[in-house]
Amino acid sequence: GRKWTKICSLDAELANRTVLIRGRAQTIRAVGKKISFLVVRRLSATVQCVLTVKEGLVSAQMLRFCNSLTRESIVDVVGVVTTPTEPIKGTTQQVEVQVRKLYCISRAVPNLPINIEDAARSEEDIKEAEMAGDKLVRVNQDTRLNNRVLDLRTPANQAIFHLKCSVIDIFRNCLRSEDFVEIHTPKLLAGASEGGASVFKFDYMGQPACLAQSPQLHKQMAICSDFERVFVIGEVFRAENSSTHRHLCEFIGLDVEMEINEHYFEVLDIVDRLFVTIFDYLNEKCKKLLDAINKQFPFKPLKYLQKTLLLTFEEGIKMLKDAGVEIDPFGDLNTESERTLGRLVLEKYETEFYILHRYPSTVRPFYTMPCYDNPLYSNSFDVFIRGEEIISGAQRVHEPDLLTARAEACGVDVSTISAYINSFRYGTCPHGGFGVGLERVVMLFCGLSNIRQTSLFPRDPQRLVP
C-alpha cells in the first residue's frame, strides 16, 4: 500500500519528501568511489537519482549494485526529492532524488541491440554531433523493426501511437454524433472484394477463401439491411508484392458507408467535416504529442482549409497538362503525377488537403456508380494529404444487373460474390462511402517518410515478425 509517484510529476513542490518511483535505468554514471548518478526514465520523463555512500544514506554494497545495473532494467527507487541550484542537463525533471533504497525488479540483458538514446536522436542531432567530431550511432529502419519492442520506447514513437489512438477516437466520436453506427464485418471471405491480385488466399476447412482486403461488400450489405449509416474500424489485408514507403500488407481501415438522398456530395460533406474536425483536434488538443514527434522527425504543420477544396478529375488533369505533364485524360494518376498535382494545388489554393472527384469509370472498382450525365466518368473520389492518397470512395451501383455486368467486365468471379449481388434484389437505397488508410493519415499528417513508422508491428512483403 505505498504511494507511487510518477516520474513525470516529480517537481519542486515535492522537495524534501520521500517518494517511491518505478522506471528504467537509462544511464548509470559512477563519479569516484562514493557517488553514482542513475538516470531513471518512464516513457519520455527522466529524473536523476543520486547515490551517495554515507552513514544513514547508501552502503558501499548498494553503490556497487547500482553500478552493475544494466541499461533498460526496471528499477524501483525510494529517495528524497531535492532541488539543485544549477539546472540539470539531460533530464526532463528539474529535481533530483537522493536514493535511500534501490531495487532491480527486472534485469535487462547487458548488450541491447538498440540503445534507446541513439534511437531517439533526430537526424539533425546526429549531423551536429558528427560536425563536432563525435560519432553517433544511426539506428537504421531494419534494426528498429527487428527490435521493435525497444524501438517503440522512444518518445517520438510513443507519441505516434498515442496520436493514432486519438485519430480513431475523433473518427468514432464525430461519426457517432452524425448518427452513424459502428459495425464489425467478417475478415474471412469467400472471394476478393478489391480485385484478385492483392488478395491473401488460404484454405478454409477445405474451401478456398480470402482475407478481407476491405469491409466493402459487407458494409454495403449492412446498408441493404437498413443500417442507414455505418462505419467499420478494423484490420484489412493486402498481398501487396512491392515494398514502398506507403504500402503495408496489413493496415487499419476506417470505412464509412451511408445512404444517399439526392447526390453523392452528401458523402463528400462527411469527409470534409470529419477530417477538418480530426485535424483541428490534433492541432489544438495533441500539442505535446506533435512536439514529441517534431523533436525527432521535424515537420511543417499541415495546411488545410476549413471548407475542404473540391476539384474534378478533369480540372486536375488540366492543371497537370498546363504544367507540362503528359497525361492520359482517362487513365489513373500515378504516384508521381499525384505528387505533382499536390504541389500545384498547394501553390494555387494554399492547401495540402483536398478531394479529387469524378474519376474515369475505367480506373475505378466494379461497384462504382457511373455519372448519370456521362458514364465515362463516375461518382467517385480520392482524397489527398501532401500529394498522397489517404481515401478512396464513391457512390455504389445498387442495381443488381448493372452490378453483375460491371463485375464481369472487370474480371471478377461473380460466383464468389453472389450473396453480395443478391442483397440488392430486395430493394436498396442509393448509397456511397469511403475507405481511409489510418496509417497513411498519421504518416502524412506528421510528414513522416515511411508508413512502417505508424504501424506498431508492420507487415510488408519481407516482414512477418516480430
| Residue 342, CA atoms < 13 Å, CB-side half-sphere | 22
**In sequence order, which residues have a C-beta less than 8 Å from that of residue 178 and are 6 or more positions away?**
229, 270, 273
Please give the single-letter amino acid code of residue 35. I
- From candidates 121, 238, 358, 398, binder to ligand 4AD by CB under 6 A: 238
Phi, psi (deg, nearest 5) at residue 166: -65, -40
Q: Residue count at the site for ligand 4AD (CB under 6 A)?
A: 23
- From candidates 251, 264, 359, 424, binder to ligand 4AD by CB under 6 A: 251
Please give the single-letter amino acid code of residue 182. E
CA dihedral of 337, 338, 343, 349, whole degrees rounded to 10 = 120
Between 40 and 267, CB nearer to ligand 4AD: 267
297-312 as b/e: b if 16+ CB within 10 A = beeeebebeeebbebe
Residue 392 annotated to the active site: yes
CA-to-CA separations, 353 to 155, 228, 276, 277, in angstroms, rounded = 27, 28, 10, 13
Spot the catalytic one: 71, 238, 364, 386.
238
Between 297 and 434, CB nearer to ligand 4AD: 434
Residue 2 annotated to the active site: no
Q: How far apart are CA 90 and CA 29, in angstroms?
A: 13
Please, what is the minimum distance in Å from the beta carbon of residue 198 to ligand 4AD? 7
Q: Does 391 bind ligand 4AD (CB under 6 A)?
A: yes
Q: Assess contact for 368 and 394: CB atoms under 8 A.
A: yes
Instruction: Determine the residue with CB nearest ligand 4AD.
Output: 437
Which segment (28-36, 72-80, 400-408, 430-438) binds ligand 4AD by CB under 6 A? 430-438
Report the DSSP pairing between strands 309-312 and 181-182. unpaired
Q: Does 455 bind ligand 4AD (CB under 6 A)?
A: no
Q: Does 440 bind ligand 4AD (CB under 6 A)?
A: yes
CA-to-CA separations, 326 to 178, 336, 360, in angstroms, rounded = 42, 12, 17
Residue 178 annotated to the active site: no
- From candidates 121, 218, 229, 247, binder to ligand 4AD by CB under 6 A: 247
Q: How far apart are CA 410 and CA 362, in angstroms?
A: 9
Please, what is the minimum distance in Å from the beta carbon of residue 392 to ligand 4AD? 4
Residue 389 annotated to the active site: yes
- Strands, sheet with 229-237, edge to edge from the N-terminal-most edge strand: 181-182, 229-237, 250-259, 431-437, 388-395, 380-385, 353-357, 309-312
Q: Does 217 bind ligand 4AD (CB under 6 A)?
A: no
Residue 246 annotated to the active site: yes
Spot the catalytic one: 117, 228, 259, 389.
389
- From candidates 25, 289, 390, 448, binder to ligand 4AD by CB under 6 A: 390
CA dihedral of 80, 81, 82, 87, whole degrees rounded to 10 = 140
- From candidates 275, 353, 434, 445, binder to ligand 4AD by CB under 6 A: 434
Between 48 and 185, CB nearer to ligand 4AD: 185
Q: Quick one: how far is CA 39 from the chain centroid?
A: 31
Which segment (115-123, 296-304, 387-395, 403-411) binds ligand 4AD by CB under 6 A? 387-395
Q: Does 387 bind ligand 4AD (CB under 6 A)?
A: no
Q: How far apart are CA 179 and CA 228, in angstroms?
A: 9
Please give the single-letter amino acid code of residue 355. I
Please, what is the minimum distance in Å from the beta carbon of residue 213 to ligand 4AD? 6
Q: Does 19 bind ligand 4AD (CB under 6 A)?
A: no
Residue 144 annotated to the active site: no
Q: Which of 118, 153, 148, 156 is nearest to 135 (CA)?
A: 118
- Strands, sheet with 207-211, edge to edge from the N-terminal-most edge strand: 188-189, 207-211, 201-204
- From candidates 97, 116, 394, 448, binder to ligand 4AD by CB under 6 A: 394
Q: Does 354 bind ligand 4AD (CB under 6 A)?
A: no
Please, what is the minimum distance in Å from the beta carbon of residue 242 to ligand 4AD? 9
Interacting residues with ligand 4AD between 171 and 210 (CB under 6 A) = 194
Q: Does 378 bind ligand 4AD (CB under 6 A)?
A: no
Residue 36 annotated to the active site: no
Q: Please give the positions annotated as active site.
A: 238, 240, 246-247, 389, 392, 440
Interface residues with ligand 4AD (CB under 6 A) are: 194, 214, 216, 238, 240, 247-248, 251, 253, 255, 389-394, 433-435, 437, 439-440, 451
